Amino acid sequence: MAAAAARHSTLDFLLSAPADCNAVLKGLQPVFQEQGMTETIHNWEDHGYLATYINKNGSFSNLRIYPHGLVLVDLQSHSDDIKGRDEIDHLLNKIEERMKQLFHSSIKRVKRLPATVRGGAIDRYWPTADGRLVEYDIDEVVYDEESPYQNIKILHSKQFGNILILSGDVNLAESDLAYTQAIMGSGKEDFTGKEVLILGGGDGGILYEIVKLKPKMVTMVEIDQMVIDGCRKYMRKTCGDVLDNLKGECYQVLIEDCVPVLKRYAKEGRMFDYVINDLTAVPISTSPEEDSTWEFLRLILDLSMKVLKHDGKYFTQGNCINLAEALTLYEEQLGRLYCPVEFSKETVCVPSYMEFSQLWSIPPQDKLINPGNEKSRSQGLSQDFQGPGQAAPPSPQSLIPSTCLCLCPFTLMIIFPPWSK
């Protein structure tokens, strides 16, 4: 399986002056010819050269020379053994060495990225919500099943533990307690003796953490039994033993669609102290009138408000803060509910949503620069809002001293009905 994967290596040169395309081509030709590669050249008068070099073993390289000073080398090979990788590295080293000999005074930048592996037995590449590509340190496919609703993968990461991925969307890793704590109110809520409704949450993380806090009853509504089955077996650092049984002393798990359940509870007059929506993130689409996911979110919001007690709170996830337009549109949807609401939001860093780094520094005082906010960095940054149209919060980078690095922060929201005041 692994031998069938293709490795794609790249080497880029940015020159400080327009390139002599012919000189670059003639300077690099001997390097490829030494490898016994067959050459094909395409020449465009105003757009430079494209030279393709094909090896007998099926590997090939494209040399693209742009007149404005950009030289790109792409090399693709099926060789996945150590010898094959060494041969590729040797060829790239020779190309880099030759370019520096020819143009050492005019090379502005040299960039060689780690090889990407395409078609491998283990898929390590997953996009962030805002469209950037991340290569995870995945070393094992733990679980891969197709349910009636979605594809379910649990992959093992050396950094993050097992990661739940639903239809290509990174949901939660065993490292991501910060997400679970934030969507429960970051330790500021008292769940003792309370009635809690969880929408979704099939990984069991929210249920497991709330049950520890001695609620009166937690009802979790998850549509996909296969998510629960996979997480019960392979995400136990997240869910503990809470998914071993669908009913416990202070909780029950309903394998149902949450929409009819919410409608039934509203009709019966059943009310909750907390509703926690862990169904789906704010859509990336910026067309809320056309996207069915937006319509679904509005429906869940309206129905959730109908089952909240007068002093109740509604917690929901948002999305990556780089999706500012989509998050603003979500706030606008809050103004369209059947009842007016106020809300606050908090920005947290979820480890598996982006690689994170640990830094050391000795600052004069280990606090946020904003003197009015004494919140621990591990709990994130929060700001109260009175409704749609308010200014966005300052970026976390502008509020956090050098002792903390936040990558790919994630926004969560707390929504208050007017009667909760």
Model pLDDT for residues 91-105, shown as the tens digit of each residue = 999 999 999 999 988
Question: What pLDDT does 417 receive?
Answer: 54
Active site residue 278: yes
Q: What is the mean pLDDT of the chain?
A: 80
Mean pLDDT (whole number) for 341-360: 63
> What is the total residue count of the chain?
421
Number of CB atoms found within 10 A of residue 331's CB = 19
pLDDT at 285 over 80: no
| Cα-based torsion angle of the residue sequence 306, 307, 311, 313 in order, rounded to the nearest 10 degrees | -100
For 389, list phi and psi in degrees, rounded to 5: 95, -5
pLDDT of residue 78: 81
**Model's pTM, two decimal places?**
0.76
- Mean pLDDT for the stretch of residues 337-357: 70
The total of other beta-carbon atoms located within 10 Å of residue 35's CB is: 15
* Mean pLDDT, residues 334-361 taken together: 64
Q: Considering only residues 410 and 369, tell me which one the structure prediction assigns the higher pLDDT.
A: 410
46 band by pLDDT with thresholds 50, 70 and 90? confident
Of 74, 72, 75, 70, the C-alpha closest to 107 is: 70
- Is 267's pLDDT higher than 60? yes
Mean pLDDT calculated for residue range 52-76 = 93
- Residue 199 Cα to chain centre, angstroms: 21
Q: Which pLDDT band, with edges at 50, 70 and 90, does 286 fall under?
A: very low
Q: Of 176, 203, 273, 278, which is the active-site residue? A: 278
Model confidence at 328, pLDDT cuts 50, 70, 90, reads confident
Quote the pLDDT of residue 371. 32
Residue 410 has pLDDT above 60, yes or no: no
| Distance from chain centroid for Cα 112 | 25
**Residue 388 predicted with pLDDT over 80:** no
Which pLDDT score is estimated for 240? 96
Q: Is pLDDT at 395 greater than 80 in this prediction?
A: no
The amino acid that residue 128 corresponds to is T
* Cβ atoms 337, 294 nearer than 8 A: no
Q: Is the pLDDT of residue 312 over 80?
A: yes
Report whether pLDDT(364) > 50.
no
Name 346's bridge partners.
Answer: 382, 412
| pLDDT (mean) for 145-173 | 93
